[in-house]
Copies of this chain bind each other. A is one copy, B any other.
Amino acid sequence: VNRERQRQILDAALALADERGLDSVSMRSVAQRVGVTPMALYPFVGSKAALLEGMVDRLLAELPVPDPELGWRERLATLARALRVLARAHPSSFPLLLARPAVSPDSLRVVETIFQALSDAGLPIDQVPRLERMVSTFVLGYAASEVNGRFSPGTLDTAARRDQLSPAELPVHHKAAFWLDRPVDWDAEFEADLADVLAIVGRAAGDSPGGGAV
């Protein structure tokens, strides 16, 4: 009903998640931060589940839209990098983006931005939705994996973990040990993956096999 109040509540929930983790977001804690009784939230957010959905909408509202003057490659790359920045700014809430369908106006606008870039790439219109799902799945999955620790298990006991099993059972782990124990340059890896994904789009759009530039 009162849109301004709703935003205030969702931002309080987001701030709470940033400061103390997603587990500490409860109707009671959010209400307290807003300075109100838990029940006073219900007319604005409906339920705890809806509160979490609302948080991802606020997240997407923060996402800058890439300059439409840019070429489609730069537009997709800019959007992908912005999503990764968003993940680092809100590591506890970001993984929610992968957990629920995107239905709000703001999320539709993000999808439209990807649609537009794919269309500009020269992709046949019937291929656009498939490639949008592929690109968004990769970017969201990568950024979420990075911030929730899926890529960096346990913090620096990579070797200990590997030694749970015998070298005979994990030959390639042992062959790659040098690179597995070394800190990874995540920025560089993300850029390399991004280039690979954009190459898929380019090829689906009918680039010459060698991969053309734009």
Contact = CB atoms under 8 A, between A and B. Distances in A.
A96 B100 CA distance: 13
Contacts of A193: 130, 134
A138 to B, nearest CB: 5
Given A148-B99, A154-B103, A137 B138 contact: yes
Contacts of A102: 150, 153
B176 A129 contact: yes
A62 interface: no
Chain copies in the assembled complex: 2
B144 A179 contact: no
A180 interface: yes
A145 interface: yes
A126 interface: yes
A46 interface: no
Contacts of A204: 196
A80 to B, nearest CB: 13
Interface string A125-151: 110111001100110111011001111
Task: Please classify the interface of chain A as helix (H, G, I), strand (E, B), loop, or mixed, using the class held by over half of its residues.
Answer: helix
A20 interface: no
A147 B23 CA distance: 23
A111 interface: yes
Interface of A: 95, 98-103, 105, 108-109, 111-112, 115-116, 119, 125-126, 128-130, 133-134, 137-138, 140-142, 144-145, 148-154, 161-162, 164-165, 169-173, 175-176, 179-180, 184, 189, 192-193, 196-197, 199-200, 203-204, 209-211
15 contacts: A95-B98, A95-B99, A98-B145, A98-B150, A101-B150, A102-B153, A103-B161, A116-B171, A125-B175, A126-B176, A134-B138, A137-B141, A200-B200, A209-B209, A209-B211
Given A95-B99, A99-B148, A137-B141, 8 more contacts: A95-B98, A108-B165, A112-B171, A112-B172, A112-B173, A129-B179, A130-B193, A196-B204
